Amino acid sequence: MTTPEPGLHPATIAVHAGRPPAVVDAPLNPPVVFASTYVGADPAGQGEVGYGRYGNPTWSALEQAVGELEGGSALAYASGMAAAHAALQLVPARGVLVLPRHCYLGVSSAAEERAARDGLQIRRVDVANAEEVIAAASGADLVWLESPTNPLMEVADLPTICGALAGVTTTLVDSTFATPLLQRPLDLGADLVLHSGTKFLSGHSDALLGVLVGRDSELLARLKGTRSLHGAAPGAMETYLVLRGLRTLPLRLTAAQANAQLLAERLAAHPGVTRVRYPGLPGDPGHAVAKRTMAGFGSLLSIELADGPTAVAFIQSVKLWVHATSLGGVESMLERRRRWAAELPTVPEGLVRLSVGVEHVEDLWTDLAQALERATPRDL
């Protein structure tokens, strides 16, 4: 596996990391290795990999690339939730877990499941309040952060929080919304970074995958042991698709983020929209922290319409935007979060999350504007 020179820009690393050695007639891209098992070293022992659940050259290529981008070593999993589950296992029975008040719903549900089964104590915090998070971390086994959060777009002051907790307690940052390009939590003192590779890393809504990245070799060995044993291994094809998508992440994110900024500004000025949550807007509660701590504001935003029925009518009226529950793809997607029964009641009924893609921004705006026109009562 080739490793780019240190000091290269992330856009260059994304293109070059995790390629086979550049020798004559070698393929430019890592081969997709479909293997459930590998030839053993000798009758008494085993090779370095041994079996398909323990390792795969295609995983190694993706892990190399994501590891380079985050500044650590990566482990690939079958999905973001498989990675999340593996990380949640770091909390022992009756242990203490600090969890954001709002976070990815699957993570929240998986944590609640462990609380019910294993007596975990969950301390819910507002990630935007660094003091509250740091205070709650006292005696915790794992501090789980997500920033920006799903779907309220709250922004955590990661340099302050991760700096204060470094060496004190294990801290994980679900950085799915930010991608490795907008923040690098390991540099700030976090122990683990989680990505749902299903989203921005893949970018094409065609593969499920998760990643954990860290620097502590003991912690990584423990996680790798659990992955080998519990079997949350990604498919070789999915891994390849995510690596292929990763090559264009910088281009996709730049385009999507520019679209998101313009759409957020126009939506904020629209009389049918009650509120826009996007850290790129100067009036947003997360703006100052995001501006100081992130390299960009990302391509996700949430809007609030008058009520649930208005949001439903709005979604029924879009023609180009895709109604779907994922995010981070080249296709612009939206959904009303409260359509999920488990979504928290603190998420407004009329909130619609928008994952802005890379289409031409005027086409995206035209579609949103006509849908708002149809959905919002004229006298607003």
Ligand X SMILES: *Cc1c(COP(=O)(O)O)cnc(C)c1O
Q: Considering beta carbons, is residue 196 or 259 the nearer one to ligand X?
A: 196
Write down the H helix ranges in 308-360.
Answer: 308-317
Pick one of 13, 98, 125, 208: the residue that binds ligand X (CB under 6 A).
208
Residue nearest to ligand X as judged by C-beta position: 80
Which residues neighbour 372 within 8 Å (Cβ) at sequence distance 6 or greater? 270, 272, 273, 314
Taking phi over 0 as left and psi of -120 to 50 as alpha, with beta for the rest, 164 belongs to: alpha
Q: Considering beta carbons, is residue 231 or 309 the nearer one to ligand X?
A: 231
Q: Considering beta carbons, is residue 267 or 333 the nearer one to ligand X?
A: 333
Find the binding residues for ligand X in span 25-54 (CB under 6 A). Answer: none
Q: In the complex, what is the shortest distance from the CB of residue 318 to ligand X, in angstroms, rounded to a whole number?
A: 21
Q: In the complex, what is the shortest distance from the CB of residue 379 to ligand X, in angstroms, rounded to a whole number?
A: 37
Q: Considering beta carbons, is residue 176 or 205 the nearer one to ligand X?
A: 176
Find the binding residues for ligand X in span 320-379 (CB under 6 A). Answer: none
Among residues 41, 20, 37, the alpha carbon closest in space to that of 29 is found at 20
Q: Which helix (H) or strand (E) holds 292?
A: helix 287-293
Cis, bond preceding 250 (omega within 30 deg of 0): no
Pick one of 50, 52, 57, 106: the residue that binds ligand X (CB under 6 A).
106
For ligand X, what does the binding mask look like between residues 170 and 199, x meaning CB under 6 A?
----x-xx------------------x-xx
Q: In the complex, what is the shortest distance from the CB of residue 177 to ligand X, in angstroms, rounded to a whole number?
A: 6
Residue positions annotated with a catalytic role = 53, 104, 174, 199
Q: Considering beta carbons, is residue 80 or 180 the nearer one to ligand X?
A: 80
Number of residues that bind ligand X (CB under 6 A): 17
Q: In the complex, what is the shortest distance from the CB of residue 195 to ligand X, in angstroms, rounded to a whole number?
A: 8
Contact window for ligand X (CB under 6 A) among 100-108, 130-138, 161-169, 301-309: 100-108
Contact window for ligand X (CB under 6 A) among 33-41, 169-177, 271-279, 301-309: 169-177
Q: Considering beta carbons, is residue 84 or 133 the nearer one to ligand X?
A: 84
Pick one of 150, 259, 299, 355: the residue that binds ligand X (CB under 6 A).
150
The number of beta carbons lying within 10 Å of the beta carbon of residue 378 is 6
| DSSP letter for each residue of 61-90 | HHHHHHHHHHTSEEEEESSHHHHHHHHHTT
> What's the rounded Cα separation, in Å, for the pair 125 and 134?
10
Q: Which helix (H) or strand (E) holds 258?
A: helix 249-268
> What's the rounded Cα separation, in Å, for the pair 146 and 140?
17
Find the binding residues for ligand X in span 56-85 (CB under 6 A). Answer: 79-81, 84
Q: In the complex, what is the shortest distance from the CB of residue 151 to ligand X, in angstroms, rounded to a whole number?
A: 9
Contact status, residue 229 vs residue 335, Cβ threshold 8 Å: no
Which residues neighbour 142 within 8 Å (Cβ) at sequence distance 6 or greater? 87, 88, 90, 91, 95, 96, 97, 98, 169, 170, 171, 172
Q: In the complex, what is the shortest distance from the CB of residue 34 to ligand X, in angstroms, rounded to a whole number?
A: 21
Q: Considering beta carbons, is residue 14 or 300 the nearer one to ligand X?
A: 300
Q: Which helix (H) or strand (E) holds 373?
A: helix 361-375
Backbone angles phi, psi at 158, to 5 degrees: -65, -40
The number of beta carbons lying within 10 Å of the beta carbon of residue 372 is 22
Contacts with ligand X, residue ranges (CB under 6 A): 79-81, 84, 104, 106-107, 146, 150, 174, 176-177, 196, 198-199, 208, 210
